[in-house]
Structure 1
Amino acid sequence: MDTIRKNMDKDVNNVKNYQQAVDLLKSGEVVAFPTETVYGLGGIATSDAAVLKIYEAKGRPSDNPLIVHIGTIEEVEHYVTNISDQAKQCMAAFWPGPLTIICEVKENVLSTKVTAGLKTVGLRMPNHPVALGLLRALGEPIAAPSANRSGKPSPTEGIHVEEDLRGRIPLILDGGATGIGVESTVIDLTLQIPTILRPGGVTKDMIEAVIGPVNEPNHIEQQEGAPKAPGMKYKHYSPDAPVYLIEKNEAAIKEAIDKIHAQHKTVALLAPELYANEQADYFFSFGEDTQADMAAHLFQALRACDATTVDLVLATVTSLDGMGSAIMNRLEKAAGNQWFHAID
């Protein structure tokens, strides 16, 4: 299969590109497109055949549910039922935007392969002109996980999608670099206490300002069977070399690199720019020492490691306040919760 990457900037005839994407989607194919978080790989959410192609292209386990993207708030009641006041308040406050809301799914509307057999589904309305343009031109819901091979770092640029899925999908709508850089927050509003299942661009404090107390466990205990949200069950975001977490401390970083080199191994350091270390074999920047910059650069830095032959990767951590919980969620998954001191 040939994979075409279409530029969707202001000087291109986007109407024609949308129509090509719509035609492919309506024929049961999948299309990659940008959102404000990461690039998604979409298929029509009511089609079993289309959803299967998403799983096949990604190599994704079929018991991992998919988020359903919609273009207008009026579509919500087509796909979910028993919509709570809290859900309506969150939609009004954060849509379009990086918040996925888990609600009770209507029977016999969406493909059961989207929900992995659960009685709930995650809905979101992305805040990106290309994503919204595609959804509104299509007029149907799109199931879309991140547009990467399963387990690898999520794509924040069109070229990342092409690197992972070339020959596996027909079309990439390239809208340039995404803004936020980590996937949407997922909140379950079917529970007695609203619970964040995956932290993201909308923080706990932001949600609590709208609906009151929200639970955000550090680690979600898994139920038997399918997880209720993407990214809860399997290792994610990993480059080829093993990743180890390390504190942002110049002395600790230097000591770690010296120890790795003493073992005749090579290392890539992922850290804010001010921690650049010439002793590391490779350095990939998280940008300025802010959580916003770290989130925006995280997946790109992890992906850059695969263009090297390093034996291992050191990634500096951040605090859990604000966007920090989302960043650390991704880093802990990339590292399998391994810290540098675990190396013998």
Structure 2
Amino acid sequence: MSGKYATETLDVDEGGIARAAQILRDDGLVAVPTETVYGLAARADSDAAVARIYRAKGRPSFNPLIVHVASLEQARSLAEISPEAEQLAARYWPGPLTLVLPRRRNAGLSAAVTAGLDTLALRMPSHPAMRLLLESTGLPIAAPSANRSGFISPTSPAHVLASLDGRIDAVLDGGECERGLESTIAAVRADGSVEVLRPGPIALEAGGSSGERIEAPGQLASHYAPGKPVRLDATQVAPDDFMIGFGSVQGDCTLSARGDLAEAAARLYACLHEGARSDKPRIAIAPIPERGIGIAINDRLRRAATPAD
């Protein structure tokens, strides 16, 4: 498949899941809801399918993909899972935690999935639509966020179609994503230590990333960009600002009027999308507390505010 073609919208029901599963088996691309954001799914064992992800997103080839699995048994067939990794999986899977682990040489995955690394990023999602798709296909599924590379992550079918309509085969319409912020990514090292490569909904007691190399998605300095200058920690709005508020700081779009960080995480990308569509040339964002999931929100905002090279 190549070029532009009609993007189907599928319901999350027996027929929609069956259609999506067949598209994936045929090396196609389907945007699928997860508990975090919409993922752009393709079978991870096919060079042709994975190449289509990179083409559709315009994604740099050195940026690896997360592979989604249906079970811990399937994960063990793809990566070497240490006792420390087993403990994390037992506590947080299924859920918004991605583990970066040593890849098995006989994993049978497309080399492009790992971007040439000896490690593999694995996640077991909890969203029923993605779980049904994993079980229906029996395949490991690569699924980065379903948007053009570097831009705002999608939390609704409309967000997906805004940048990928005509570039992918289908969207499974599961409505709005619950958490609205990508998974926490943690690397489990050979000595059993855990290093957080990307903060997210799950807060881990672990060391931070050294940032010396790209090992997982979301580590690029400039990412999640709305295509306009972004000003952080803004308490006052200028006439040409689209203001994203939080708590007592009101805005054109408000993350959480009551200062709830979980609500702010769920609404973050929706507000950035609204700001990107507005006629205001700049986006200003109210201060977000650097605690709990606020750490992950500020991580995304700093990357959104960093100009691309």
Q: TM-score, normalised by structure 2?
A: 0.94
Task: Summarize the alignment of residues 163-312 of structure 1 with structure 2, pairs less than 5 Å apart.
Answer: 163-192=162-191, 193-204=193-204, 208=205, 214-217=206-209, 220-223=210-213, 227-247=214-234, 253-254=235-236, 257=237, 260-261=238-239, 266-272=240-246, 274-276=248-250, 283-287=252-256, 288-312=258-282
1:28 and 1:240 mapped to 2: Cα distance?
31
Give me the CA root mean square deviation.
1.6
8 Å contact 1:241–1:310 — kept in the other structure?
Answer: no
Equivalent residue number for residue 284 of structure 2: 314
Distance 2:287 2:131 in 1: 33
Q: What is the alpha-carbon distance in structure 2 between the residues aligned to residue 49 and residue 234 of structure 1?
A: 29
Question: Is 2:88 the partner of 1:113?
Answer: no
Larger radius of gyration: 1
Q: Secondary structure at the residue paired with 1:50?
A: helix
Cα distance in structure 2, aligned partners of 1:216 and 1:222: 12
The equivalent position to 1:88 in structure 2, one of 86, 109, 123, is 86
Distance 1:54 1:114 in 2: 10
Q: How far apart are 1:309 and its partner, in Å?
A: 1.9
Which sections of structure 2, spanning at least 5 residues, go unmatched? none
In structure 2, what residue type is equivalent to 1:32?
Answer: A
SS in 2 for 1:275: coil
Measured at CA, do residues 4 and 273 of structure 1 come closer, stay the same or move farther in structure 2, by a change above 3 Å?
Answer: farther
Residue 234 of structure 1: how far off its partner (Å)? 4.6
Q: One-letter code of the match for 2:155?
A: T
> Which AA in structure 2 matches 1:286?
L
Specify the alignment match of 1:5 in structure 2: 9
Residues 141-172 of structure 1, C-alpha deviations (whole Å, 9 max, x = no match): 00010001111110001111111110000100
- Work out whether residues 95 and 126 of structure 1, in 8 Å CA contact, stay in contact via their aligned partners in 2: yes
Query: After superposition, where does 1:45-60 map in structure 2 within 5 Å?
Result: 45-60=44-59
What amino acid is the match of 2:249? Y
Aligned residues: 301
* CA displacement, residues 302-340 of structure 1 (integer Å, 9 cap, x when unaligned): 010122121211112322221111111100000118xxx
Is the partner of 2:269 in helix, strand or coil? helix
CA distance in 1, matches of 2:44, 2:261: 33
Which consecutive aligned stretches of 4+ in structure 1 deviate over 6 angstroms post-superposition?
A: none
Q: Secondary structure in 1 aligned to 2:49?
A: helix
**Partner Cα separation in structure 2 for residue 135 and residue 267 of structure 1:** 43
Kindly state the Cα deviation for residue 7 of structure 1 after the two structures are TM-superposed.
2.7
Q: Structure 1 residue 273: deviation in Å?
A: 5.7
CA distance, structure 2, for counterparts of residue 290 and residue 25 of structure 1: 38
